[in-house]
Amino acid sequence: MTEVSAHEAAQTVAEHESAPVASRTRLDRFRRRRLLAHVSILSKLILMMVLCTVVASVVIGGIAFQAGRSEMRDAVFSRLTEVRESQTRELTSQITDLRNSLIIYTHGVVARNALEAFTAGFDQLANAQITPAQSQTITDYYKNGFVKEVEQYSGTKLDSSAVLPTSNAQRYLQANYTAKRPLNLDDGDQYSIDLDNANDGSAWSAANAQYQDFFRQIVTRYEFQDALLIDGRGNVVYSAYKDVDLGTNVLDGPYAGSKLHSAYSKAMSSNTVDYVGFTDFEFYQPAEMQPTAWMVAPILKDGRAAGVLALQFPITKINRLMTFDKRWREVGMGDTGETVLGGPDELMRSDSRVFLENPQQYKTDVVNAGTPPDVADMAIRQGGTTLVQPMTSAATRNAQKGETGTIITQDYLGQDTLQAYAPVVIKDSDLHWSIVAKVDTSEAFARETSFTKTMVLVTTGIIFVVCLLAIYLAQIFVRPIRRLEAGAQRISAGDYNVAIPVDTRDEIGDLTQAFNEMGRSLTVKEDLLNQQRKENDELLRSLMPDSLAERFKQGEETIAFEHQNVTVIFADIIGLERLQAELAPDASLTLINELIRQIDAAAETLGMETVRTVRNGYLASCGLTVPRLDNVRRTVDFALECQQIVSRFNNETGNDLSLRAGIDTGTVSSGLLGRPSVVYDMWGSVVNLAHQIKDGSPQPGIYVTSGVHDVLQETMRFEAAGTTLVEGQAQPIWRLSERR
């Protein structure tokens, strides 16, 4: 037999070598099939399970990795886009509010009268006497104060004779006001803004004593750097801070090269109703070369521009907004995120985060990225990167073209960053700004790197564990698994009456018995689970809004929202405690439940959202989860309806209850509090103030804040009900009397 087999094998090999290629291929396949035929079913099962597990793990892991990475990148870009849009809205809103305020001031009689008074007083100073001592005071102030400040910030020498006042009126005003300021910059500003009268007996000083407080309020309340009145000839006849541009001429004076020149000309020649010009930032010499923009509006007399009111807009207002008041981490910008404004000259219009946090680190980074060292030195000397630091990138170029989008590119620090960019559109202005929200890719993709490592380790671990389990389980389940599979198929088809014979008493037998039991109880358990889920969902929705309930069910532990334009009511039913004391517990509870049921029904009808009911107190809101334009009116209507409900309750039961409510409107926060017991609650200054005015009002009635009163004063009658202290300031309280 051995000799024959060897001979046959040798013959087969010889035939294989001499056969054509196609024949040899068929012979190879035949040999592989013969080889597999000698492999046991157990080994085939193990091999199949291992291969399937490996392929499935790799495919699923790859899909999960791609999906997870894409989701994380989209989340980062979405966050940057949200920040960019939020900052853009806040910036345009801030400028719009300031424009509207300036329109109101220039249309008022005070500004017009002030311009006439200061112009007349300025003209009277043309022949005013100036002593040699006053002249020397002016020279000393420029030489020892103003010129040194400008040279310190600009880094260039300044010819003091070129900026010294020349006209008699200018020299007189600066001798009596500007030159008297202390040389310390901050002290000098405060001295000049507080000075109402130099007591020189001039008509100009009389006008200043009359109108200085008006313009001081504008400057200080809106944080402007200065307020100028410029007459129809271009003379700066008034300055709130009495700076070195007081008395100069914006058309041909020493500072005629500033953007104020063109802004003044446009305002004087504008025929547009409610015109307000807004210039780009520039290095303004009278402001010691600090970046300055101008808001300019004409002051009309008999339908023609008699002059302008120019408000000096400092870069600090822009920086506070764009840098989140230096609270980048608190607003979710991490360690490298920031938002920056850029101009058409590809220079910054706000300060760099790195500069504000570490100027020397800023200098090192920008110089390494290609910025000239003298530019970095100038930024440090200026105390900011505005109008100094270039920010050339594809993002800023695209934004200047009017495009909006996201991109991964290098920033001015030479770092690879994710950038969300957009143009900034300011109505009725010649500004061409762009905004960029950015974060370093190293920080933005840190989660992606960690996610990649985790996916690789988890996938490898799963493959290894499943291979071991496949070897073990294949040996155990190779025979009875088919019967269990058949039973599972019947159950999956909806046939729960499955009974598989139990042939063994080992683990497989127990599994088979448990399988049979599972089939019998599956229907009952499914019904119970569905019922329990329904009850749980109803309970959650009774305790909190649907959106919070869904997130809470997903396992989120910290859930909080900030809501704009929400009206809050805190109401007490006075007399409930006496009623509870007089009646038996079950009787008083029945009456109170009926009263609360009627109030809840009224709340639902008027679109109110009940937050909680505590003893005799009732907290509700309108516009919290469902935004409503008329949330103030609905809330007051709800309070009136509650009064009627209490009145009807008194008539029906013979009791003497009354309602006392406090209402405020504004921004509130809401979320889930507590662990493990969760309570949905609402908080914020609006909630506190509503509760405060409710508790602080001794008589029944509906009490509202000025915000509610201002909205409804045309449709409802209110009467003053005193004041309450809010952060140390007295705020008026109003009591609703009736509808108009």
Residue-wise pLDDT tens digits, 416-467:
899 999 999 887 677 889 999 999 888 888 776 776 777 778 777 877 787 7
Q: Residue 13 to residues 7, 8, 65, 376: CA-CA distances in angstroms?
A: 10, 9, 50, 83
The answer, yes or no, to whether residue 5 has pLDDT greater than 50, is no
What is the distance between the alpha carbons of residues 310 and 240, in angstroms, rounded to a whole number?
Answer: 11
SS3 (DSSP) at 282: strand
Query: What is the spatial distance between Cα 705 and Cα 693, in angstroms, rounded to a whole number?
Result: 8
* Under 8 Å between Cβ of 410 and 417: yes
Does 520 lie in the same domain as 566?
A: no
Last residue of some domain: 526, 543, 560? 543
172-208 residue pLDDT tens: 998 888 888 776 655 556 666 777 888 888 999 999 9
Write down the residue that tokens 């909806």 correspond to.
494
Which residue among 478, 509, 543 closes a domain? Answer: 543
Bond into 390 cis (ω within 30): no
Report the alpha-carbon distance of residue 542 to residue 296 in Å, rounded.
55
Q: Using the 3D structure, point to which of 281, 314, 347 is the last residue of a domain.
A: 314
Are residues 564 and 712 both part of a single domain?
yes
Mean pLDDT of 228-236: 95
Give the tens place of pLDDT for each residue, 243-271.
889 999 999 989 898 999 999 999 999 88
Instruction: Let me know if residue 82 belongs to a domain.
Output: no
486 inside domain: no
* Beta bridge pairs of residue 342: 348, 434
pLDDT the model gives residue 297? 94
Nearest to 165 by CA among 185, 188, 150, 146: 146
Q: Confirm whether 469 is domain-assigned.
A: no
401 burial via Cβ count (<10 Å: 0-12, 13-18, 19+): exposed
Smallest CA-to-CA distance from 246 within 315, 306, 313, 167 is with 167
**C-alpha distances in angstroms, 653 versus 580, 631, 656?**
14, 32, 9
| Token pair 């921004």: residue | 667
Q: What are phi and psi of 477, to 5 degrees?
A: -100, 10
Share of the chain above pLDDT 70, in %: 85
- With a cut of 90, say whether residue 241 has pLDDT above it: no
Q: Is 249 exposed, middle or buried (0-12, 13-18, 19+ CB in 10 A)?
A: buried
Whole-number pLDDT of residue 139: 85
Predicted pLDDT at 13: 46
Ranked by mean pLDDT, the top range of 6-15, 161-170, 482-491, 524-533 is: 161-170
Q: Return d(Cα 444, Cα 387) in angstroms, integer.
A: 28
The answer to the question of residue 692 being in a domain is yes
Within this chain, do residues 287 and 235 fall inside the same structural domain, yes or no?
A: yes
Residues 578 and 690 in one domain: yes
Residues 196 and 308 in one domain: yes
Do 516 and 564 fall into the same domain?
Answer: no
Of 41-50, 79-88, 245-254, 364-373, give the lowest mean pLDDT range. 41-50
> Do residue 503 and residue 651 come from a single domain?
no
| pLDDT at 729 (0 to 100) | 84
Beta-bridge partner residues of 291: 283
Claim to verify: residue 508 and residue 597 sit in the same structural domain: no
Cα separation, 644 vs 114, in Å, equals 54
Q: Which residues of 625-651 are buried (b: 16+ CB within 10 A; e: fewer)?
A: eeebeebbbbbbbbbbbbbebbeebee
Whole-number Å distance between alpha carbons of 311 and 222: 10
- The 10s digit of each residue's pLDDT in 628-638 is 889 999 999 99
Strands (E) in 365-426, as ranges, are 405-410, 416-424
Q: Tell me, what's the pLDDT at 615?
A: 61
The CATH number that applies at residue 233 is 3.30.450.20
The band of 347, judged by pLDDT with boundaries at 50, 70 and 90, is: very high
| Residue 8: domain span | 2-37
Q: What is the pLDDT of residues 659-717, one digit of tens each?
A: 999 999 999 988 876 666 667 778 888 888 888 888 888 889 999 998 999 988 888 99
pLDDT in tens, 610-622: 887 766 688 899 9
Mean pLDDT for all residues in the chain: 82
Confidence of residue 37 (pLDDT cuts 50, 70, 90): low
Residue 294: pLDDT band with limits 50, 70, 90: very high
Query: Does residue 75 lie in a domain region?
Result: no
| pLDDT score for 476 | 64
Query: pLDDT, tens digit, for every residue of 575-622?
Result: 888 888 888 888 878 888 888 889 989 989 988 888 877 666 888 999
pLDDT at 345 over 80: yes
One domain for residues 260 and 348: no
Query: Is 70 among the domain residues?
Result: no
Query: Does 308 score more than 80 pLDDT?
Result: yes
Predicted local confidence at residue 3, as pLDDT: 42
pLDDT number for residue 263 = 92
In the DSSP assignment, the letter for residue 390 is: B
Does 112 fall in a domain? Answer: yes
- Are residues 348 and 267 both part of a single domain? no
Q: Which stretch of DSSP H or E encloses residue 340?
A: strand 338-342
> pLDDT tens for residues 350-389?
999 999 999 999 999 999 998 999 998 888 888 889 999 9
Confidence of residue 566 (pLDDT cuts 50, 70, 90): very high
- For residue 739, what pLDDT is reported? 65
How crowded is residue 595: how many other Cβ atoms within 10 Å of its Cβ? 21
- Report the C-alpha gap between 219 and 226 in whole angstroms: 6
Are 412 and 375 in contact by the 8 Å Cβ rule? The answer is: no
Q: At what angle do helices 315-322 and 41-107 cross, to 10 degrees?
A: 160
Q: Are residues 129 and 151 in the same domain?
A: yes
The CATH number given to whatever domain includes residue 398 is 3.30.450
Whether residue 457 lies inside any domain: the answer is no
The closest of 394, 227, 391, 410 to 322, measured between CA atoms, is 391
Task: State how far the alpha carbon of 609 is from the alpha carbons of 567, 613, 624, 635, in Å.
Answer: 10, 12, 7, 10
Looking at the structure of the chain, the number of domains it has is: 5
What per-residue confidence (pLDDT) applies to 703?
93
The enclosing domain of 713 has a CATH number of: 3.30.70.1230
Assess whether pLDDT exceeds 90 at residue 481. Answer: no
Shared domain for 564 and 506, answered yes or no, is: no
Per-residue burial over 26-36, b = 16 or more CB atoms within 10 Å of its CB, e = otherwise: eeeeeeeeeee
Whether the pTM exceeds 0.85: the reply is no
Selected residue with higher pLDDT from 36 and 501: 501
